[in-house]
Amino acid sequence: MHWPQVLEYPTGYDLPSTAEEILGGFQVLETPTFNDTWAKFERLHASGKARAIGVSNFSIKTLEQLFKTGKIVPAVNQVEMHPYFADTELLEYCRSKGIVVTAYSPTGLAKVRSDPTLVALAKKYNVAPAQIILAWHLARGVVTVPKSSNAGRQKENLTLATLREEDLAAVTALDRNERCEVWTKFGPDGKMLGWTREQYGW
């Protein structure tokens, strides 16, 4: 389940991509709720058509709401996570429930990859900053889905150094609770993709 809210997609659109579409172009529906959708997922799971079912962009708040009616614990919660947004509380919560966290935008966009601490660590280990970040995720037990259209960088992202404890701590210390993705910017009405921060539990 990509998001906790239900969006009616305009004909011809797949995913919202521009700020206008993200902030205004989509109608949020009251029903079905994500609890209703999860019940349908559970039926798919029971039928054997899905071996595992999971969620994305769920917070502790929305996961708690899901557990009110859900019988199956999501196999995975895919969320934005990188050194500027380490979200350790959500990671620990998911771990306590047996939910695997997958980091999207795992390398945190160019803004994070060019952080001086990460650039210095990359020099120290003779790798790219993205490799330092991915090694940090793995050390935290987080699954990553890095994306690269470049064969050389795809290879880089598969060959990771093992970071020393103090270097892992230095990456964690970069956390500043900053979501970097475009769809995490809220509009003047306090909404992003039709929901407020409070509804998301952010």
Ligand X SMILES: NC(=O)c1ccc[n+]([C@@H]2O[C@H](COP(=O)([O-])OP(=O)(O)OC[C@H]3O[C@@H](n4cnc5c(N)ncnc54)[C@H](OP(=O)(O)O)[C@@H]3O)[C@@H](O)[C@H]2O)c1
d(C-alpha 131, C-alpha 154), whole Å: 10
Q: Per CB under 6 A, which of residues 34..93 are in contact with ligand X? A: 56-57, 78
Identify which of residues 163 and 165 has a Cβ nearer to ligand X in the complex: 163
Mask for 94-123, x = binds ligand X (CB under 6 A): ----------xxxx-----x----------
Closest by alpha carbon to 100, among 146, 65, 59, 54?
Answer: 54
How many CB atoms neighbour CB 38 within 10 A?
A: 22
Stretch that binds ligand X, among 19-27, 62-70, 87-95, 152-160 (CB under 6 A): 152-160
Work out whether 175 is an interface residue with ligand X (CB under 6 A): no
Query: Cβ of residue 15: shortest distance to ligand X, in angstroms?
Result: 9
Work out whether 145 is an interface residue with ligand X (CB under 6 A): yes
Positive or negative, the CA dihedral 182, 186, 191, 195 is: positive
Query: Cβ of residue 48: shortest distance to ligand X, in angstroms?
Result: 25
Identify which of residues 2 and 71 has a Cβ nearer to ligand X in the complex: 2
Work out whether 146 is an interface residue with ligand X (CB under 6 A): yes
Identify which of residues 68 and 152 has a Cβ nearer to ligand X in the complex: 152
d(C-alpha 193, C-alpha 108), whole Å: 21
Which phi and psi angles does 38 have, rounded to 5°? -65, -35
Q: How many residues at the interface with ligand X, by CB under 6 A?
A: 20
Interface residue with ligand X, options 68, 150, 177, 198 (CB under 6 A)? 150
Closest by alpha carbon to 103, among 135, 84, 85, 78?
Answer: 78
At 47, list the tokens.
């039928």
Identify which of residues 151 and 166 has a Cβ nearer to ligand X in the complex: 151
**Which residues, listed in sequence order, are joined to residue 189 by a DSSP beta bridge?**
none
Over its C-alpha atoms, the chain yields an Rg (Å, rounded) of: 18
How many CB atoms neighbour CB 51 within 10 A?
A: 8
d(C-alpha 11, C-alpha 97), whole Å: 38
Query: Cβ of residue 164: shortest distance to ligand X, in angstroms?
Result: 21
Interface residue with ligand X, options 153, 172, 191, 199 (CB under 6 A)? 153
Query: Cβ of residue 122: shortest distance to ligand X, in angstroms?
Result: 10
